[in-house]
Chain A
C-alpha cells in the first residue's frame, strides 16, 4: 500500500521534472534580493519574467534565493544576468562584476526613506530626529545585507549617538526581511525596528498593521535605493543591443498590476554613479572594504 503510494509519488515527481523547463544556454535568468515575504516575491517576479519574455523574445526565468549574498553571488557567478538589487547589494555586486551597470530604478528609489518604528509599550512618540528614548531598548534590523534594513538605519544610529548599535541598544537582532521586522516589532519581540517605507505603506494599505501596537517614531532623510542591474557581457551572449532592449522593456513597463506589486509608479533610467552616496556610507561603516 505504502510502496504503491511512494511509487506514485516517484512517477509524479518524474513527470514534474520532465515538464519543468530545463535551463538552456539561451535562458535569460534573473533574481531579486529576498527583502519581503517569499510568496509575494515569487508572484511579482513571475509576472516580470512573463513580461520580459514577451518583450525580449527569449526565455526568461526568475529564481528565488534565500539571502542577499546569494543574489549577489548568483549575479557574480553569471548564473543570473539581471537582478533587482537594493542600493547596497547593487553597489557590492557591481564592484564584483566589472562592466555591469545599473539599468533602471523605481521613480521612488531616487529618494527612498526609512521608518524607525516602535512597539506601543515603549511609549515613544514620533519626532523630527531619532528619539533619545530608543537607547537601551531592543532593536532589530532587517537583513544583514539590506540597504534600508541595515545600512541606512545603522548610519543614522551612529550619527545620532556616536556609538555602534550594539552599545546603544540592549539587544540587536536581524529579522531577515522588512515584513518580519514589522511583525516582530508589532508583536513586541523587539521594541524598536527600522524598515523600508514602501513595505510599511503597502502593509498599512492592505490592512495588515495594527496601528495600536506599533507606530512610526522617525522618518529618515532620502537616499537612493533599489535598481535593476545587468551584467556587462549579456550583449555578447544574447545579441548586440540586448542591454538596451532590457532597459527599454523595463522603462516601458506600464502594467498597473505589476507596478503595484513592487510597488512603484514606474521605472526611470539609473546609472552606477547614482549610488555613490550608498558606497561611501557602506565604506564608513565598514560593510565594504
Chain B
C-alpha cells in the first residue's frame, strides 16, 4: 500500500498533524460547554426575527456589499487574467489574494473609516486576485481550434470574443456565480470589524448571549444563500448590479488627508519615522520578529496542519451522506441539509460561535475549519460518487465504502484538499482576531495599540506564508499528478 505516492503523502501529512496535536493547545476551558451549546441550539430553534430594527437593512447591506465587491472583483480579475502570462501580474495577483478580506477591511478602516468603499474594496481586491487566476486557468483550457480556423487578419479582440469566450462561457459563468455566494459570506463577516452587514448584529447578539436573535440572523443568512438560484437570475442580474451601489449606505465622507497620512506616516516603521536610523530599525524589526511574527507563524502552521487533516477526515466521513450508494432519500436529504449548512457558514462565524461556547484554545478553530471545508469537499466528492456505476453484485455497507468508493475518489479528494490548503491557512491566520494566538492575533493587537507599522509587517508576513503554502500545494499536486477544479 505504501508504494502509492498518494498514500505516502497522506500518511506524511497525518503524522505531521498528530505531532502538531502534541504541541497544540487543544482544550475546552468553559465549565459548562454542553449547556451553552444546548442554549445555542435552543436559540436556533426559537429564533426571534424582530430583535433588531436594523436586521433587514443589515441583510440588504450584506447583499449590496457582496454584489458590488464581486462585480468589481470579477471585472478587474478578468482584465488581469488577460495579462496573467506575465510574471509581475501573477505575483501581484498572488499577493493581493494572499491577504484575507478582513485584513483588507482592517487596513482600509484606518483611512477610509466607515465609508462604503472600505467594505467594497475589502472584497473586490482579494477577489480580483482569485478571479484573475481562475479565469486565466479556464481560458487556457479552452479549445484552441476555433481560433486557428479563423481567416488570417482577424482582429485579436474579435478572435478572442468569438472564438475563445464562447467555448468557456459556461465555466466562467458557473465560477462567477459560485464566487458570488462566497462574496455574500465575506460580506457578512465584514460586520465583525464594524461594517454595517449581518456580522455586526451577529457579533452583538452572540457576545451578549442572545441566542434567539443570533439564531434568527443565521437562519435568514442560510435562506438567503440557499435561495440564490431563485433570485439571482441572468435576466435580473444587471438590475441588481446597477442597484447594489445605492444600497451600501451613507457611511462617512472620506478625508483624503487621512489616506496620505496612512501611507506616508502610519505604516512607516517607527524608528525610521522618528529618524533613529537603520540600527534602531533593525532592532525594532528583530523585536517584531521574535516576539510576534515567529510565535504567530508557528501557531498558524501548527493549526493549519491539524485543520487540514481534520478537514480530510471529515470529508471522507461526510461524503456518504449525500452519495446515492448509501441510504435512502430521507438520509440523503438530511445529509444535504447538513452539508449545505456546514459549508454556508463562514469559518469565521463557526469559530466565533464555538469559541464562545468552549472557551479559547485551538480546538474551536480546528472544528470550525474542518466543518466548513469538510462540508465543501464532502459535497464535491459525494456528488462525484453519484456518477460512478457499481456492478450489481458490488459489496454493501462498509466494504462498499472502503473498497469500492474511497479508492475511486481518493485522487480527486486529495486534489481538493491540497487546493484548499492555502485557503485553510488564510482563514487560520484571520481566526487570530478572535483570540487564538495565530498571526491574526498579533495583527489585531498591533492595530489595537495603534501601531500600524507593526500591523503591516505582520500582514506582509502572513501574505508571504500563504504564497509559500500555495506554491508548495501546487508542487505536491503536480508531483502526485492530481487535477483540480477551483473551489473557493
- Nearest chain A CB to B232's CB is how many angstroms away? 11
- Docked Cα-Cα span, A145 to B448, in Å, equals 6
B contact residues vs A (CB 8 Å cutoff): 29-32, 56-57, 59-60, 109-111, 113-114, 192-194, 200, 203-204, 207-209, 227, 230-231, 247, 249-253, 255, 258, 270, 359-360, 435, 444-445, 447-451
Tell me whether A144 and B448 are in contact (CB under 8 A): yes
B194–A66 touching, CB < 8 Å: yes
Max chain A C-beta neighbours (<10 A), residue from B111, B194, B230, B251 = B194
Contacts of A37 in B (CB 8 A): 207-208
Bound: A38/B204 CA distance, A: 6
Q: Which residues of A contact B (CB under 8 A)?
A: 2-3, 6, 9-10, 12-14, 16-17, 22-23, 25, 29, 37-39, 63, 65-70, 72-74, 76-79, 92, 96, 138, 143-145, 171, 173-174, 176-177, 179-180, 183-184, 187-190, 287-289
Q: Which residue of B lies closest to A70 (CB)?
A: B194
Distance to closest chain B CB from A170 (angstroms): 10
B113 engages A79 (CB within 8 Å): yes
Contact (Cβ within 8 A) B200 A78: no
| Contact of A174 with B113 in the complex, beta carbons under 8 Å | no
B29 x A171 contact (CB < 8 A): yes
Which residue of B60, B192, B250, B251 contacts A66 across the interface (Cβ within 8 Å)?
B192
Once the chains are docked, how many angstroms separate the CA of A63 from the CA of B111? 17
When chains A and B are docked, how far (Å) is the Cα of A13 from the Cα of B270?
Answer: 45
- Find chain A residues with CB under 8 A from B194 CB: 65-67, 70
A73:B231 contact, CB within 8 angstroms? no
CB A190 to nearest CB in B, in angstroms, measures 7
Residues of A within 8 A of B450 (CB): 69, 72-73, 92, 96
The answer to whether A144 and B449 touch (CB under 8 A), given A2-B231, A67-B194, is yes
Partner of B252, one of A12, A23, A179, A287: A23
Closest 10 CB pairs of A and B: A188-B31, A13-B60, A66-B194, A144-B448, A79-B252, A38-B204, A79-B113, A189-B359, A189-B30, A145-B448
* 9 A-B contact pairs sorted by A residue (CB < 8 Å): A10-B60, A38-B208, A39-B208, A73-B110, A79-B252, A92-B450, A138-B29, A176-B207, A190-B29
Beyond the given pairs A38-B207, A188-B30, A289-B270, 10 more chain A to chain B contacts, judged by CB atoms under 8 angstroms and listed by A's residue number, are A2-B231, A16-B57, A39-B208, A73-B109, A74-B114, A79-B114, A79-B253, A138-B29, A144-B444, A289-B451
When C-beta atoms are compared, the residue in chain A nearest to B58 turns out to be A13
Knowing A77-B258, A138-B29, A189-B359 are in contact, say whether A3-B449 is a contact too (CB < 8 A). Answer: no
A184 to B193, CA, bound (A): 22
Give the Cβ gap from B199 to chain A, nearest Cβ, in Å. Answer: 9
B364 to chain A, nearest CB (A): 12
Q: How far is the CA of A96 from the CA of B230 in the complex (A)?
A: 50
Which residue of chain A lies nearest to B449 when distances are taken between CB atoms in the complex?
Answer: A287
Q: Which one of B56, B208, B250 contacts A13 once the chains associate, using CB atoms below 8 Å?
A: B56
Q: Tell whether, in the assembled complex, residue A145 and residue B252 are in contact, meaning their CB atoms are under 8 Å apart.
A: no
Give CA–CA (A144, B59) in the complex, Å. 30
CA distance A287 to B227 in the complex (A): 48
B231 near A3: Cβ-Cβ < 8 Å: yes
Tell me if B448 and A67 are in contact (CB < 8 A). yes
Supposing A23-B250, A79-B252, A187-B30 touch, asked if A66 and B203 sit within 8 A by C-beta, the answer is yes
